[in-house]
Structure 1
Amino acid sequence: MSGELKKRLLSAIVLAIVVLAATWAGGLPFRAVAAVIGVLVYYEWSTITRLKDVDFQGNAFGWLIVVLVALNVLGGDDQMSMPLLGGGVITAMLFVVLRKRSWWLPSGILYAGLSTIAIAAIRGENQIGLMAMLFLFAVVWSTDILAYFIGRKLKGPKLAPRISPGKTWSGAIGGTVSAVIAGSALSGVVFSDFSLWTAFMALILSVASQIGDLFESFIKRRFGVKDSSHLIPGHGGVMDRVDGLVFACFAAFLLTLAHAAWTSHVDASVAAYLFGL
């Protein structure tokens, strides 16, 4: 085994232990993981898009909003997270319009801030939140792993050759099918019943995960970088590892908000929505 592969394997084991332990514990430990992810995502985003070079003041404002959102998720009022993020994004958009700043500023604030909020909201503070987070992990990880192996085995037409030349339609479909199987299996173990709704949610979240992967590939290709950073030995950056998970969490969180607005159930949780409860 090469030194680089050993480094990659060790990093993966350490990350898995930390994330799964925090997920199991819930509460402050998991909120801390969500907050750190959001802050590091903004660091990598601002580095890739060169915000600190082209818009120092705007980037400083972006840091302020992302850190405030992270601190609010850690110990503030959950109901203030989205208004705080929304206000920051709108203000950044005004900077862009009035002072001709970079549009990468408001999009980076939204991407990083919503990462923290959505991930924390799905886990919540109860047992159903734990199951929901494990469901997201099962869907995203099975999508990533099976898409890679099935794509390499079957090959075929490229999914998005201009963005990510290695991805194929066979891999994308195989990853989605495996995600539906994995998500349904986990739901069946937890609730002792097969749910068409949960299978459908697994499909939607798998597609969202792959869109997130393509989105990050587009950003990196746009700015000519290979990895989002070198924060994780052997793996690149945080965005490289959580791009699919973040978009899957976005989808689950935003669908829950839309459902709550449509049904007037303002106290609806993401976990309950995922499992059709």
Structure 2
Amino acid sequence: MDPAPVPSGKWSDLRTRILSAIVMVAVGAVEIWLGGLAFAVLVVALTGVMIWELATMTAPLERRSALVVAGVAGVALVAALVLKTEIAVLFLTVPSVALLLTPRRDQRLAGGYALAIMLAGYGLVELRAVGGTQVILWLVAVVVASDVLGYFAGRMLGGPKFWPAISPKKTWSGTVAGWIGAALVGLAVVLATGASWALVPFSALVAFAGQMGDIAESWVKRRAGVKDASSLIPGHGGVLDRFDALIGAVVVVMVLRLVLPVAGLFGG
């Protein structure tokens, strides 16, 4: 029997992407369910890896210093999570300062993006502790639905590009499909749990923030002249390539928490 044909063209990476996604979903689901220290350890590790990828992209010849900055990022995030006070914000800025003080391309861009990564790491652990499993599952589901529907709609429907100068592959059809997918996730949560109907448009807003997170990482990669942040995840590139949208989504949710009762949307 002849071997199964290998997908080609625009779907050539689909099989690898799906297999990698299954592994990531399985690990993530277990860690989210466990919560507490196990979840925090995973988030700290992922945050350190993303900082390493960012440092490597913006200064490819300084791989040793990239490892140092990644280690510093992990320690700083742990310190912020342990303290849980206003001073925690100062610890979250440490990797940004380190990137600004070391020779690299686009220092300010790298510093700003590093801060977003650190805020997202802190926010994930904080949201899990305050909002419980349901908030994290909703957040992940919104980002995944937006990404999956955007992926398929963009490739099947095509059409005008959303921001071709920064992200040549992203289309308006995929972008809008992402909003719709996120809104459907919000609707499903409302119908299943009796959460506030405001969660439906809020989900679409968070999806848009996630898409902007994707755009931000595309900008960093474009400036660095690389296709992927790294090759750590088969079919997905680096950790940043997989979690860029989640960074944008978490940062926006954490900012909105300052003015909106986000937990109240879930009936809490």
Report the TM-score when normalising by structure 1: 0.80
**2:20 is aligned with 1:11:** yes
Q: Match of 1:66?
A: 73
Aligned equivalent of 2:158, options 141, 155, 162: 155
2:176 and 2:111 map into 1 onto residues whose CA distance is 33
The percent of aligned pairs where both chains have the same amino acid is 34
Q: Which amino acid aligns with 2:142?
A: V
Q: How many residues align?
A: 256
Q: Which amino acid aligns with 2:37?
A: L
Give 1:195-274 correspondences, 5 Å limit: 195-256=196-257, 258-259=258-259, 272=263, 274=265
C-alpha displacement of 1:155: 2.1
**2:170 is aligned with 1:179:** no
1:130 and 1:215 map into 2 onto residues whose CA distance is 28
Q: Which amino acid aligns with 2:145?
A: S
Q: Once structures 1 and 2 are overlaid, which stretch shifts more, 146-155 or 6-15?
A: 6-15
Say which structure is richer in helix.
1
Q: Once structures 1 and 2 are overlaid, which stretch shifts more, 237-246 or 62-71?
A: 62-71
SS of residue matched to 1:231: coil
1:162 and 1:135 map into 2 onto residues whose CA distance is 31
1:90 and 1:69 map into 2 onto residues whose CA distance is 11
Distance 1:145 1:63, change over 3 A: closer
Query: Residue 55 of structure 1 contacts residue 102 of structure 1 at CA under 8 Å; is this kept in 2?
Result: no
Q: Match of 1:265?
A: none
Distance 1:51 1:129, change over 3 A: farther
Q: Deviations over 1:61-99 (max 9, x none)?
A: 74454122232366x22224323224x268559848xxx
Query: Residue 24 of structure 1 contacts residue 130 of structure 1 at CA under 8 Å; is this kept in 2?
Result: yes
Q: Deviations over 1:193-229 (max 9, x none)?
A: 5x33211210210100111111111111111111111
Q: Match of 2:170?
A: 167
Q: Which amino acid aligns with 2:252?
A: A
C-alpha displacement of 1:235: 2.1
Q: Match of 2:112?
A: 107
Q: Which amino acid aligns with 1:159?
A: F
Q: Which amino acid aligns with 2:57?
A: I
1:172 and 1:8 map into 2 onto residues whose CA distance is 20
Aligned equivalent of 1:85, options 68, 71, 92: 92
SS of residue matched to 1:118: helix
Query: Residue 81 of structure 1 contacts residue 117 of structure 1 at CA under 8 Å; is this kept in 2?
Result: no
Q: Match of 2:53?
A: 44
Q: Which amino acid aligns with 2:40?
A: R
Report the TM-score when normalising by structure 2: 0.83
Aligned equivalent of 1:120, options 125, 146, 153: 125
Query: Residue 183 of structure 1 contacts residue 198 of structure 1 at CA under 8 Å; is this kept in 2?
Result: yes
**2:44 is aligned with 1:35:** yes
Q: Match of 2:10?
A: none
1:73 and 1:205 map into 2 onto residues whose CA distance is 24
Distance 1:34 1:55, change over 3 A: closer
Q: Match of 2:132?
A: 129
Q: Which amino acid aligns with 2:91?
A: L
C-alpha displacement of 1:110: 0.9
Distance 1:6 1:159, change over 3 A: closer
Query: Residue 54 of structure 2 contacts residue 114 of structure 2 at CA under 8 Å; is this kept in 1?
Result: no
Structure 2 alignment gaps of length 5 or more: 8-12
C-alpha displacement of 1:273: 5.1
1:52 and 1:81 map into 2 onto residues whose CA distance is 31
Q: Which amino acid aligns with 2:23?
A: V
Q: 4+ runs of 1 displaced by more than 6 Å?
A: none
